[in-house]
Amino acid sequence: DTAVSQTPKYLVTQMGNDKSIKCEQNLGHDTMYWYKQDSKKFLKIMFSYNNKELIINETVPNRFSPKSPDKAHLNLHINSLELGDSAVYFCASSLTGASWNSPLHFGNGTRLTVT
Amino acid sequence: KNEVEQSPQNLTAQEGEFITINCSYSVGISALHWLQQHPGGGIVSLFMLSSGKKKHGRLIATINIQEKHSSLHITASHPRDSAVYICAVIKGGGSNYKLTFGKGTLLTVNP
């Protein structure tokens, strides 16, 4: 009964490939997010969706395309993978957009390695 | 300069010691998160606070909005507290917000 689950946990692929990471939450939350954690462990917001609508797109290359088929799912598709895309990608959700009474719940992360 | 600065970057303590991790920010915020990331990589939200102080078990978080500063304290530290502690500030609210993270403080508690 994992609250926020992402798959796969590890993803190793070659430059130029296209890959997807899936995220599902069973908390009934309205808002979902993708974060990227780089090699220096620095977390940065990539996207947020509220009820399937894109709210935030933080200067992410358009090779990254989030898709939210319903408010419980937010998938991340990456085209033409580059070496610099290697990172850990975290999905998260919150009841409403982040505010003082709406904590974030994180998935366990997907470690993407591009060779 | 990052909008959110944490100190120290690394902290090593002996079991039982009182720990303080600091977070300073340079922008107006609506709330602040303290997160814990264990060596296995999972991230857990410890506290969200917009004023005053919150306590959960051995963990205490305080925030001073006027001084743009928050602290996370751990009393009677234990090796299982070893993790990266991340401060994140929230600007705006509802679904229109921005979450900015500090670079984290790596805490190691030795037995």
Which residues of chain A are at the B interface, by a Cβ-Cβ cutoff of 8 Å?
30-31, 40-45, 48, 50, 55-56, 88, 90, 92, 96-106, 108-109, 111
> How confident is the model at residue A2, as a pLDDT?
67
Q: Given B41, B45, B86, which is nearest A109 (Cβ)? A: B41
Q: Can you tell me the mean pLDDT for A102-107?
A: 86
Inform me whether the pLDDT recorded for B82 exceeds 60. Answer: yes
**Mean pLDDT score of chain A:** 89
Inform me whether the pLDDT recorded for B94 exceeds 80. Answer: no
Of the two residues B93 and A73, the one the predictor is more confident about is A73
Of the two residues A106 and A98, the one the predictor is more confident about is A106
C-beta atoms of B94 and A97 within 8 A: yes
Inform me whether the pLDDT recorded for A96 exceeds 80. Answer: no
Which of the residue ranges A9-18, A71-80, B41-50, B56-65 would you say has the lowest mean pLDDT?
B41-50
Q: Given A31, A43, A88, which is nearest B95 (Cβ)? A: A31
Q: Can you tell me the mean pLDDT for B81-99?
A: 81
Instruction: Map chain B to HEC letters.
Output: CCCEEEECCEEEEECCCCEEEEEEECCCCCEEEEEEECCCCCEEEEEEECCEEEEECCEEEEEECCCCEEEEEECCCCHHHCEEEEEEEEEEECCEEEEEECCCEEEEEEC
pLDDT tens digits along B6-42: 999 999 999 999 999 999 999 888 889 999 998 877 8
